[in-house]
Amino acid sequence: MLPSKSALALRTSAMLFILMFLLLISAHAQTYKVIYNFTGQGSDGATPYAGPTLDQSGNLYGSTYLGGTFGSGSVYRLSPHGSSWKYTSLYSLKGGADGAGPAFGSLVIGGQNRALFGTTEGGGFFGTAFVVCACPQREAVLHSFGMGTDGAQPIGGLTLDAAGNYYGTTSLGGAFGDGTVFGGKRSGKQWTEKVLYSFGNDSSDAINPAAGVSLDAQGNIFGTASFGGSLGLGAIYKLTRSGSKYTESILYNFQGLDDGQNPVGGVILDTAGNLYGTTFDGGINGGGTVYELSPSGVFTVLYSFVGGYGGPYNKLTFDVHGNLYGITNGDGANGLGSVFKLSPSNGSWIFTDLYDFVGGADGASPYGAVAVDGLGNVFGTAVVGGSDNQGVVFEITP
């Protein structure tokens, strides 16, 4: 017996209601909120290129490229305070020997006093590595770059090993002028910096690394260089450790095809030794890619962005469930950047667009990596926009 017209209409209406309900749930699956507006006034920072870093108590730490008391950048803390956040200026860079312009690398927390380690693009001779105490207004320069062949312009931040030694890159300088990987070791109250590798020793070498590095359990160093490689479109490299010496090998040369090109952001590792990273350009649609490189050398594109320019600019971030999070700088529905998530599912990855920046009070043009807490809340920064157009810190709540 065929259903009546009224029954069909009722069933259709019910299906439409369910569809609209599911779409409504999807649309409200995450909430975007600005939790701090930078002003660039007084000791407040401005232009936060670097993303925030979370500690175990839920505090956020970060740096700004400009602003602070002297206009040369700042280091700050945001602490949960009821339903809002309390801002504390920890240090204002003076722009001289202490450094100027903390750039794209997130701060890293380490040492017995849970101090904050980072780099500046300028100041010193040609950039610095620094440490700031979590108590306000105490900073120490670990190394001043730009003298001899030690490298120049360290914009990617630092990484610490289990012993508290630091590692990073310079995008310029070194023995061949194309950048370096460096390490710093502490002895008492003194730090000694050493160049571990100088890029550009031959025409197919990686050059000009913008990103910081990642370490595996054996002390091997992994990273990306935005340019160089066999085709000049960037490469993934490894420095294999043998005692105190390191040997470089190129793990992958970007082709500028579906695989992408110009990997600005660096790589992160999972427990199996797979590398995950992004490219700023290239891919199927020209908007950059997210990729995986296995220990055996198998390169897999996990996602290609649809925009023609302005893909991911910084490192990806894992959450406790193995999901990947990142930002695009100029991609997204409004061409002002986006925040995304990739979730592993039966051998593939599911892409979720968490937020598309709209500019204005909500901010735009994110450069820094995001931080993710145990509840899946995502924290990040946008360089422009906000109440004073000096950038914002945001939270996306699932």
What are 66-100's pLDDT values in tens digits?
Answer: 999 999 999 999 999 988 999 999 999 999 999 99
Domain presence at residue 241: no
For the chain, what percent of residues have pLDDT higher than 70? 92
Tokens of 159: 């990484």
Q: Decide: 345 and 361 in contact? Cβ < 8 Å.
A: no
CA–CA separation, 65 vs 80, rounded Å?
23
Domain presence at residue 358: no
pLDDT tens digits, residue range 146-164? 999 999 999 999 999 999 9
Domain presence at residue 107: yes
Q: Determine the pLDDT at residue 292.
A: 98
Tokens of 356: 């598309």
Number of structural domains, the chain? Answer: 1
> Residues with Cβ < 8 Å from 366, sequence gap 6 or more?
51, 313, 327, 328, 329, 337, 339, 357, 380, 381, 382, 383
| Residues facing 116 on adjacent strands | 109, 132
Does residue 20 carry a pLDDT above 80?
A: no
Q: Determine the pLDDT at residue 29.
A: 60
CATH number for position 81: 2.120.10.30
Q: Determine the pLDDT at residue 190.
A: 85
Domain presence at residue 82: yes
Does residue 7 carry a pLDDT above 70?
A: no
Q: Determine the pLDDT at residue 315.
A: 98
Within 13 Å of residue 119, how many CA atoms lie on the same side as its CB? 34
Q: Which pTM value belongs to this model?
A: 0.91
pLDDT tens digits, residue range 200-255? 999 999 999 999 999 999 999 999 999 999 999 999 999 999 988 999 999 999 99
Report DSSP letters for 278-331, one per residue. EESBBSSSSB-EEEEE-TT--EEEEEE--SSS----S--EE-TTS-EEEEESS-
Domain presence at residue 55: yes
Domain presence at residue 125: yes
Mean pLDDT score of the chain, rounded to an integer?
92
Range of the domain at 101: 48-198
Domain presence at residue 370: no
Segment (H or E) for 85: strand 84-92
| Residues facing 158 on adjacent strands | 168
Domain presence at residue 170: yes
When pLDDT is cut at 50, 70 and 90, the band that residue 285 belongs to is confident
Does residue 367 carry a pLDDT above 80?
A: yes
